[in-house]
Amino acid sequence: MKQVVLAVLMLLGMGKVQAQQMQQSFLDNQKMFPKVGAAYRDKEEQLKEEFQKKGLTYPAKYIFIRSFKLDSELEIWVKNKASDTFRLFKSYRVCTLSGKMGPKRKEGDRQVPEGFYYINDFNPNSSYHLSLGINYPNFADKILSDPKKPGGEIYIHGSCLTIGCIPLTDDIIEEVYVMAVNAKNSGQDFIPVHVFPVKFGNIRSMDYLGNFTLKDNSSEKFWVDLKYAYDYFEAHHKLPVVLVDEKGKYIM
């Protein structure tokens, strides 16, 4: 019996070591790419200092990304335990906006998606310096978008230009990419990305959205659903549980 218990403990220990090696290998593999290696050399000490000044632990084991189209902002929220609430680390400037307010619904519409997504790709060899893919079309998009050509390949990337993506400067994407790699390396396979038309707490942005709906109210109900999620996070600094019904409507 003792031998059986010992064997089980050894297997559990080996599994833990293997998991740690796999996590570490993602970071090591990413650093092998020239642009990622350079980003770590240029940004890691700076990020450590900024985290320390804000009383945060570096590297963050969990990150959450929020982007606001009209306000041209991208926020990075961080925490180090699953049970913790998120704290704002930094707000970055988004270079430019493609399309208009409203969700992406078909290939070639130049729209930046709006809704609830997660990082599904790390591209260290991107033509746009570095890039992080988001999982557009998600379940809701697949129901509501063009069934044959909904579009795809939406990224948060550098090079400060876009047709339907979220563009940052090369300097900024390096910081965001490093933090995302660190989080994935720590075991966060699901890095959430929420994309909103506006910062719902900004009065001027809300006024713009109100005037926009007078001309085109097709997205008004959709934005009400997005605002529920925004308000929940603002109140609790925890992510809301978001589901999708058979009609593609977000349910919280």
Instruction: Provide the token pair at 61.
Output: 């084991």
Q: Which of 186, 184, 196 is nearest to 234 (CA)?
A: 196
How much is the pLDDT for 197? 95
Taking the domains of the chain in order of start, what are their residue ranges? 26-236+247-251
- The average pLDDT across 19-27 equals 64
Q: What is the CATH architecture assignment of 26-236+247-251?
A: Beta Barrel (2.40)
Torsion of CA 183, 195, 250, 243, to 10 degrees: 0
> Residue 229 to residues 85, 128, 184: CA-CA distances in angstroms?
15, 30, 24
pLDDT at 9 over 50: no
Catalytic residue positions, numbered: 157, 165
Q: What pLDDT, in 10s, does the model give residues 92-126?
A: 999 988 888 999 999 999 999 999 999 999 999 99
So what's the pLDDT on residue 14? 47
Q: Looking at the predicted structure, is the pLDDT value of residue 7 above 60? A: no
pLDDT digits (tens, 9 = 90+) for 36-64: 999 999 999 999 999 999 999 999 999 99
Give the pLDDT mean for 16-23: 51
What pLDDT score was predicted for residue 24?
A: 55
144 pLDDT more than 90: yes
pLDDT at 148 over 80: yes
**How far are the Cα atoms of 7, 72, 76, 233 from residue 242, in angstroms, in the given order?**
42, 24, 20, 12
